[in-house]
Amino acid sequence: MRKYVIMGVQGSGKGTHSRLLAADLDIVPIIVGDIFRWHVQNHTKTGSLVRRIMADGELIGDDLVESVVRSRLAEHDWNFGFVLDGFPRNRRQAEFFVENYDIDGVIVLHVPDSEVRRRVLSRRICVECGTPISLIESRPAVPGQCDSCGGKLIHREDDTEEALAVRLRTYHEKTDPMLELFRRKEYVITVDTRPPQEMVQAEIRQQLGLPPQKTRDPQDPVPGTPETGGA
Ligand SMILES: [Zn+2]
């Protein structure tokens, strides 16, 4: 059983690296953002709550995140383990988590704040099909249009410079005390995410003592594709 927590500021590639780790290790990526997106898209009770919170310009509270993660973990479909992205969110949750789950490692994806800013501000999302793209990694065939469906590409509402500055500050305030706790348990590995994606993934695996990534069949779905999450 392999149980990991992945941490890093928004735009550090947590979702991508969780999926890459999970792809050939038979572990389940549990991505809090995806679970909430699934609830919104499927108009669940949690989904409408999230919509209201977003409409008010608020952030989703730690307690709501905790209850969603608890019910996701309670599904016990992770016989070989999981990699959890988006939880714990504060020191109390981190303490609860280390006491109740035998964590094997905490992966910290390190990115300097200036690089986060560059990445986040280059993100767009399709208004029609919801496909996220990064203008750093690829240019759409027609500027401003989604390659999959031709829909309009826009900034996500929370990808403004001001919102990002607040998120970065909050991230450091909340994360540093958790890292201190995890470091005391000697769980933490830190990986610089500025090199290319394959190198970052290889470094994560090496530091965790995991086998290298299997070469992917070009026919396989790209791990970066958003999943339905809590389905
Ligand atoms: Zn589209």
pLDDT digits (tens, 9 = 90+) for 21-55: 998 898 999 999 899 999 999 999 999 999 999 88
Pairing of strands 28-31, 81-85: parallel
Q: How far is the CA of 45 from the centre of ligand 1 (A)?
A: 26
pLDDT in tens, 76-101: 889 999 999 999 988 999 998 888 88
Better pLDDT: 17 or 57: 17
Q: Which CATH number fits domain 2-110+188-217: 3.30.160.100, 3.40.50.300, 3.40.50.2300, 1.10.3720.10?
A: 3.40.50.300
Confidence of residue 147 (pLDDT cuts 50, 70, 90): very high
Is pLDDT above 90 for 158? no
**What is the model's pLDDT at position 221?**
58
**What is the model's pLDDT at position 171?**
86
- Average pLDDT over every residue of 60-67: 92
- All residues at 6 or more sequence positions from 14 whose CB lies less than 8 Å from its CB, including other chains: 6, 7, 8, 31, 85, 86, 109
The letter for the amino acid at 156 is R
Buried/exposed code over 19-48 (b: 16+ C-beta within 10 A; e: otherwise)? bbbbbbbebbbbbbebbbbbbeeeeeebbe
Contact of 87 with 32, CB cutoff 8 Å: yes
The letter for the amino acid at 69 is V
pLDDT in tens, 4-15: 999 998 778 898
Contact of 85 with 32, CB cutoff 8 Å: yes
**What is the model's pLDDT at position 225?**
47
Catalytic residue (choose from 37, 119, 124, 167): 167
Catalytic residue (choose from 3, 19, 37, 89): 89
**What is the residue-averaged pLDDT of the chain?**
88
Q: How far is the CA of 152 from the centre of ligand 1 (A)?
A: 7
Catalytic residue (choose from 91, 117, 123, 205): 123
| Percent share of the chain, pLDDT over 70 | 93
Better pLDDT: 217 or 89: 89
Is pLDDT above 70 for 191? yes
Better pLDDT: 102 or 45: 45
Bridge-partner residues for 188, per DSSP? Answer: 106
Q: How far is the CA of 226 from the centre of ligand 1 (A)?
A: 13
Q: How far is the CA of 151 from the centre of ligand 1 (A)?
A: 5
- Average pLDDT over every residue of 174-193: 91
Is pLDDT above 70 for 127? yes
| CB atoms closer than 10 angstroms to residue 105 | 21
Catalytic residue (choose from 2, 3, 14, 37): 14
| CB atoms closer than 10 angstroms to residue 126 | 20
Q: How far is the CA of 192 from the centre of ligand 1 (A)?
A: 31
Q: Known catalytic residue: 167?
A: yes
Catalytic residue (choose from 156, 183, 194, 216): 156
Confidence of residue 154 (pLDDT cuts 50, 70, 90): very high
**What is the model's pLDDT at position 231?**
35
Q: Known catalytic residue: 123?
A: yes
Q: How far is the CA of 144 from the centre of ligand 1 (A)?
A: 11
Across 16-20, 80-84, 106-110, 220-224, least confident range: 220-224
Q: Known catalytic residue: 14?
A: yes
Q: How far is the CA of 125 from the centre of ligand 1 (A)?
A: 8
| Percent share of the chain, pLDDT over 90 | 56
